[in-house]
Every structure is written in structure tokens, then in C-alpha cells.
Amino acid sequence: MQSRYFTIHDHPQGMPKRDLFKLEERELPELQDGEVRIRNSWLSVDPYMRGRMDGVTTYIDPFELGKPLEGAAVGEVIESRNSRFKEGDKVRHMGGWRDVAQLPGDQVEALPEFDVPEQAYLGVLGMPGTTAWVGLNIIAEMKDGDNVLVSAASGAVGSLAVQLAKAKGGTVVGIAGDQKKLDWLESQGIKAVSYKGKGAKQLSEDLKAACPEGFDVYFENVGGDCLEAALNNLRVGARIAVCGMISRYNDQTPSAGPGNLAMILIRRARMQGFIVFDHWEHHGDFLKEFASRVASGEIDYQETVEEGLEQTPDAFLKLFEGGNQGKMLVKL
Amino acid sequence: MQSRYFTIHDHPQGMPKRDLFKLEERELPELQDGEVRIRNSWLSVDPYMRGRMDGVTTYIDPFELGKPLEGAAVGEVIESRNSRFKEGDKVRHMGGWRDVAQLPGDQVEALPEFDVPEQAYLGVLGMPGTTAWVGLNIIAEMKDGDNVLVSAASGAVGSLAVQLAKAKGGTVVGIAGDQKKLDWLESQGIKAVSYKGKGAKQLSEDLKAACPEGFDVYFENVGGDCLEAALNNLRVGARIAVCGMISRYNDQTPSAGPGNLAMILIRRARMQGFIVFDHWEHHGDFLKEFASRVASGEIDYQETVEEGLEQTPDAFLKLFEGGNQGKMLVKL
């Protein structure tokens, strides 16, 4: 059986170009004992993948040049030599960026049985949802009534973070760009602040106007001016959960950081970076708390869907142009 | 009775000039019920006082223009209308920058009875010592065997932090400037790294050479290049206790921050600002653990002493020129 997959043959400098990504094809080897073969139906593209293209180990191994790229995917088992899986099983795994994946069964998990579309396990009930939950509850130790600020607030993680925070009853402010995203935030009862065409100073003032008391929690996805403006609006004892700094992922030379880091001291604030995979033991708690709210339609999770394997690189690149609302997915 | 005291009549821009400080004199009012009158013998000057000169509330109220400046001091009670104190008692209080202080008794504490010189309660057994202990143990949660980096490592706080850290058995690296300070660090078994004439890049490399495994804990007193270099040398799960950022206290416009803040994410590190006064409930634990080590001579605490009330502003200004080794004190 043939598998079509994307590779890169070079480490990109700055924003990757479309022609970095090669669509290749190969005959899969015979299935080995313990392995399963999966026809993917949905692929995930995520900002963290940019870091894996640089050839250096950060918090995750780099992509290997010339080998199939990796990422979360859901699909259906089409052949199994593993007793845990049979033909027709719906599964989630990391063999994305390809149409047919072949993996050891211990790298594959069966989808839980909640009444949600299967692609939900790549977004609202997958890594992004768990990231929002862990960042707010475990890293930022969000409490009832906390005022919460979220950047990239209509993205895959941010759009869930604002809804989780809103349920705690404090003022929730989301930073986004496009009018459509701002409108969606307002429709959820979130105060929406645009970063477009503003420097850190103006953004600071707009955040202050949106929440004059300041923030107990900042869920950081962006870095740069968003971080600087957030630092100016912290309450004493604030907690910053650093989930990502997407504004910096394509920098070729490091941009300077915020000039007001001393606010960490003045506000006795805590800033902590985290990777959801370090906290995956909470995934079960997260599902228990959240899956029924998703299944009941209470959570308005957004998806941006591109169609066809060929579109995967474009879907990925759009993440850095603000081209997605909610989870960016590729439907095969 | 006359009291001589220093005031400021203006908020300084940048590094304060010597003539900002006015020595004034007044007749003290009659002692009120509950008050004590103290002849100060030692005054403390500390970097945090710079922030109190700006006229804005940060984590502590600003100094009032034209009123006596404040700061830690020790002295002897010369008159008391408070049942807790009698003439001759040795006390510590915040009525510094003056020769004779008159205060309500509830703002005065009797010196504990350890076998140490009285000025030790302004340094090694006072605020700086407690700051080092709280920063390492409470904020950075230092564990046995941790590799620890300390900036301003021969200062009042840093010189105690390196000794506390050394006792935990890991590699301890201290950043300082002058050769005399570097020599002192080496004499304590601390690896000494000079910041002089180096940018963040060279300093990063020198820290890496001193401790190739990287640091579990960074005790931050300086900011700027020291922070950037430290961020490049964190181990996964590192904790940064932000005690001060003295390199920035006299900035007139904010300097840019480190360009590598994303290391917080990559290393899943935690950076937390703290003010020792928020954690003063640990002062007793600190004394219990530390005072006997000080009294026995095990702790090599350094002091830089200026003589005479008139020298107080100069002693203060020298803090920003690296002019002190260990605690800067004024002896009256």
C-alpha cells in the first residue's frame, strides 16, 4: 500500500516558504507484529511544529530531514497486527502530515466515546483543549473571580481558555486581530481588544480600559508587544502561564524582549513556561470536566478546515498569518 | 533634642546626584505616650530605596518629599514612653537616614540575643539575609544538589545566597565585577564569573564553561545582560527568584529586555518576583537555621562601612557603582 507524506529537506530561516514542503510517496513495508495501519481522516497543524523544523532539540525532538513530518491525526484502523486494535477502530496518534500511517500500537490510542465529531479529539478535546485547561488550572492556578487575559484569544488554545476562564466569573479579556475574531469574542461575553496597528504602549492603555483593576492571570500565546502590555496590567501576585510566543517563532535574529520585565518584581508575579505533554496525567481530569460540556453544545469551539492532504503546508503557514479561527485542521 | 536627617525635595531622573540629598535638622517634639526615642548607631542603605525616590507606589510607599528618608537602622533607646522598651535597649526599626529617631513602639523591635555584632541585624541576620534565604528556599524551592547561579554575588544579599546554596552541595556560580569580589567568591568555593566588558553572548558562554550542565536555580539581583545569559543556561524546570534588577533602577527610559525570553518556555522554567516583606513570617525559621552559623563564624559575611551620618548619601550612591562588598552600612 502507498503512503503519501510531507517532508522537509532543509531547515527554514524565518517564515518557511511553501516550497520547503515536499509531497512524497512510498510503498509501505509489510505490517510488523504489534503494528497498525491507519487511514487518516483529519490532520492537525500547530504552531509548535515550527520549532521542530530548526534541527535542534528544544522541548521535543526536531523533525528529521527527508523523513515524514509528524503531528497529531485521527483516522481509522485499516489493518492491525496488534491485539488492542481491530479494523474500523477510530484512533488518535502522532503520524500526521500523511494519508496512511503505520505505527507500533503503543503509539496509538483509541478515541474516547463521547458524543462529539472525531476531529474534536484534535482540538477542543485534544492537545489544545488540554493545554488551555492545564495552563489555567495547573500552571496559573486560576481561582474563582480571577480577572484573566488571553492572547491569541480566538486561536485553538485561546478560544477555549477564554471560555474556561469565563466560567470562573471574573473579567475575561481576549486579544485578537481580525474583526471577525473580535466579534466572536464579544459574542462569548469576552471583552475583546485588538492588537492591530498598535504598539505596546497603546495596547497597554486599551487593556487598562478593558479591565482597570488589572489581571490575576495572563495566558500567554504570543510574546512581544502582548507580553509587554500584559506586564503593565498585572495585579499583585499575578500568574503568567507561558504556552507559546508565536510572534517570535519565525524570527531570524532574536527581537529584544519587553523593557518592563521589572514588573515581575514590582507585582511579585510569577511567569512559568509549560508544555502540555509534561502534564498529560491531567488529560483524564480535563476530559471528565470538559467533554460533557462540549457534547452538550455549551462550548463554542471553532474550527478552520482546509481540505485535502496537499493543503497541509498552507494550513500550517496560515497559523502565522492569523488565518485560523479556533483549531486549524486538514480534512482528508 | 535635635535630630539630623536626610531629605529629598525632588524626584531624581536617572542616577541621583549627590546634591539631591539635603541634611536638615529639627527639634524633636515631646515624646508621646507609646513612643520611643532612639539614638541610631548603624544605618542601612539598600538598592530598593532608589524605587522609593520616584514618587510612585511600587511595592512600597514612595518617600515623601521634604520628610526624613526611611530605612533600616539599629540603635539604642534613650527615652521611652512605651512599656515594651526601656533606656539602653538595643533595637531595630525603619527610622534610618537620621541620627535620632522617634517612633511609635509598635514600629520598633528588640534585637534578638545572638552572639553577633549589632549591625549584623541590618545585614546577615536582617533583611538581606532573610531575602537570600526566602529567595532560595521559598521562591526558588532549592533542593539538595541544585546548581545555583547568583548575580551581584558579592553584594549584601548575593554573598549570603552563594553560601546558603553552597551548603546544598551543587555547583554554585557567582557573577561579579571587581577582581577583589571574584577572589572572595573563589575563596568560598564559588565559581566566579566576571561580567565586566562582556555582552550577554560572552557572558552566556562563560557561564556555560563554569557549569556546563546548566542551572536549576537563578537568584536574580541584576537584570539586563545577566538575565539574558542566565536564560541561556537554564536546565529544564529551572526556577528564577527575582529579588532585584539593579542594572535598571536608574534607567530613564526602559531598556529593552532579553531577546531570549522564549527560554522560559523551552526550559519550562518559572520566574517569580518577590519582596521579602511579603514573607517575613519566615524570618524566625531563618534565624533559627542561620544565626548559630553566623555566631560560630562559619558564615563569611562581608561589610562595607562608611563613617558618619554625612556619608549616608555617598554610601547609597556607591551601591549602583559596585562600590560595596557585602552589606553597605553607615556607622554613626
List the single residue in B236, B244, B257 with the smallest CB-CB distance to A261: B257
Beta-strand pair A35-44/B90-93: unpaired
Cβ B264–A242 below 8 Å, yes or no?
Answer: yes
Residue A28 has pLDDT above 90, yes or no: yes
Residues B180-229: pLDDT tens digits? 999 999 999 999 999 999 999 999 999 999 999 999 999 999 999 999 99
DSSP label of A122:
G
Which grid cell is A285?
481530569
For B202, other C-beta atoms within 10 Å of its C-beta total 13
Residue partners of A251: CB distance under 8 A and separation at least 6: A14
Residues A101-128: pLDDT tens digits? 999 999 999 999 899 999 999 999 999 9
Cβ B260–A257 below 8 Å, yes or no?
Answer: yes
A61 interface with B at CB cutoff 8 Å: no
Which grid cell is B198?
562582556
Residue A252 has pLDDT above 80, yes or no: no
Residues A188-243: pLDDT tens digits? 999 999 999 999 999 999 999 999 999 999 999 999 999 999 999 999 999 999 99
Total-model pTM:
0.91
Helix A127-134, helix A283-295: angle, nearest 10: 110
Contact list in A for residue B245 (CB cut-off 8 A) is 261-262, 265
For A188, other C-beta atoms within 10 Å of its C-beta total 17
Residues B45-84: pLDDT tens digits? 999 999 899 988 777 789 999 999 999 999 999 999 999 9
A57: distance to nearest CA of chain B, Å?
Answer: 10
DSSP label of B137:
I
ipTM at complex level: 0.89
**What pLDDT does residue B297 have?**
93
**What pLDDT does residue B252 have?**
73
**What pLDDT does residue A245 have?**
85
- CA B263 to chain centroid, in Å, comes to 27
Q: Can you tell me the mean pLDDT for A147-168?
A: 95
Cβ B259–A260 below 8 Å, yes or no?
Answer: no
Annotate A123-170 with DSSP letters as a single string.
Answer: TTTSHHHHHHHHIIIIIS---TT--EEESSTTBTTHHHHHHHHHTTTS
Which grid cell is A86?
481491530
Distances, alpha carbon B250 to alpha carbons A37, B150, B255, in Å: 64, 21, 11
Contact list in B for residue A254 (CB cut-off 8 A) is 259-260
**What pLDDT does residue B244 have?**
87
Name the residue among A216, A221, A258, A256 with its Cα closest to residue A233.
A216
d(CA A46, CA A94): 12
Q: How confident is the model at residue A265 (pLDDT cuts 50, 70, 90)?
A: very high
Residue B245's closest chain A neighbor by CA? A262
Beta-strand pair B108-110/B90-93: antiparallel
Contact list in A for residue B244 (CB cut-off 8 A) is 265
- Decide which of 3.30.470.20, 3.40.50.720, 3.40.91.10, 2.20.25.90 is the CATH code for B127-277: 3.40.50.720
Task: Kindly state the greatest CA–CA separation across chain B.
Answer: 63
Cβ B269–A264 below 8 Å, yes or no?
Answer: no
At residue A111, the 3 state secondary structure works out as coil
Contact list in B for residue A268 (CB cut-off 8 A) is 59, 272-275, 278
At residue A281, the 3 state secondary structure works out as helix
Contact list in A for residue B270 (CB cut-off 8 A) is 270-273
**Could you tell me which CATH class the domain B2-122+302-331 is placed in?**
alpha beta
**What pLDDT does residue B249 have?**
73
Tracing cell 542566565 back to the chain, one arrives at B230
**What pLDDT does residue B245 have?**
85
Residue A41 has pLDDT above 90, yes or no: yes
Contact list in A for residue B275 (CB cut-off 8 A) is 265, 268
Q: A72-107 as b/e, with b when 16 or more CB fall inside 10 Å?
A: bbbbebebbebeebeeebbbbbebbbbbbbbbebee
Architecture in CATH of A2-120+302-331:
Alpha-Beta Complex (3.90)
Q: Can you tell me the mean pLDDT for B37-47?
A: 97
Residues A138, A61, A31: CA angle, nearest 5 degrees: 110
List the single residue in B245, B254, B278 with the smallest CB-CB distance to A268: B278
Residue A58's closest chain B neighbor by CA? B266
A260: distance to nearest CA of chain B, Å?
Answer: 7
Q: A2-38 as b/e, with b when 16 or more CB fall inside 10 Å?
A: ebbbbbbeeebeeebeeebbeeeeeeeeeeeeebbbb
Task: Residue window 79-98, chain B: list those with CB within 8 Å of chain A.
Answer: none
Q: Can you tell me the mean pLDDT for A146-166?
A: 96
Contact A193, A173 (CB under 8 A): yes
Cβ B245–A267 below 8 Å, yes or no?
Answer: no
**What pLDDT does residue B212 have?**
98
d(CA B168, CA B142): 8
Domain boundaries in chain A? Answer: 2-120+302-331, 127-277
Average pLDDT over chain B, rounded to whole? Answer: 94
Residue partners of B286: CB distance under 8 A and separation at least 6: B129, B130, B133, B134
Q: How confident is the model at residue B154 (pLDDT cuts 50, 70, 90)?
A: very high
Q: Cα torsion for B307, B311, B314, B315, to the nearest 10°?
A: 40
List the single residue in B59, B223, B260 with the smallest CB-CB distance to A261: B223
Q: How confident is the model at residue A325 (pLDDT cuts 50, 70, 90)?
A: confident
N-term to C-term CA, chain B: 17
